[in-house]
Structure 1
Amino acid sequence: MTDTTQDSIQNATLETFPRAGFMRRFGGWVYDVLLSIAVYMTAGAISFLIFGLLVNYGILSMRGHDHLIDLQQSSIIYSVLIYGWNLGWVAFFFVWFWSKSGQTLGMKAWRLRVQNRDGSLISKRTAIKRLLPTLLGLGNIWVLLDGKNKLSLQDKLTDTEVVTLSKEANRGRL
Structure 2
Amino acid sequence: MDATADASTRKPAAFIGRRLLSLLYDLLPVVALWFLAAVPFVLLDVAVSGDVRHNIGPFSLLQWLLWLACWIVTGLYATVSWRRGGQTLGMRPWRLRVVADDGGAPTHGALWRRYAVGMVSLLVAGVGFWWAWIDRERLTWHDRASGTRIVRMSKRN
Deviations 1:40-83 (A, max 9, x none): 1222234424x268x2xxxxx43xx634634x317622112222
Pair member with larger Rg: 1
Task: State yes or no: 1:87 paired with 2:87.
Answer: no
TM-score under structure 1 length normalisation: 0.72
1:67/1:116 CA distance change after superposition, 3 Å: same
Equivalent of 1:34 in 28, 32, 40: 28
Aligned runs of 1:60-71 on 2, under 5 Å? 61-62=48-49, 66-67=51-52, 69-70=54-55
Aligned runs of 1:6-155 on 2, under 5 Å? 17-49=11-43, 51=44, 55=47, 61-62=48-49, 66-67=51-52, 69-70=54-55, 72-73=56-57, 76-134=60-118, 135-136=121-122, 138=126, 139-146=128-135, 148-155=136-143
Kept in 1, the 8 Å contact 2:41–2:62? The answer is no
1:165/1:46 CA distance change after superposition, 3 Å: farther
Give structure 2 stretches of 5+ with no counterpart. Answer: 1-8
TM-score under structure 2 length normalisation: 0.78
Superposed structure 1 runs of 4+ greater than 4 Å apart: none
Deviations 1:76-107 (A, max 9, x none): 22112222222221111111111221110111
Decide which structure has greater helix share.
Answer: 1
Give structure 1 stretches of 5+ with no counterpart. Answer: 1-14, 56-60, 170-174
In structure 2, distance between residues paired with 1:157 and 1:74 = 32
Identity of aligned residues (%): 26
Q: RMSD of the TM alignment (CA)?
A: 2.4
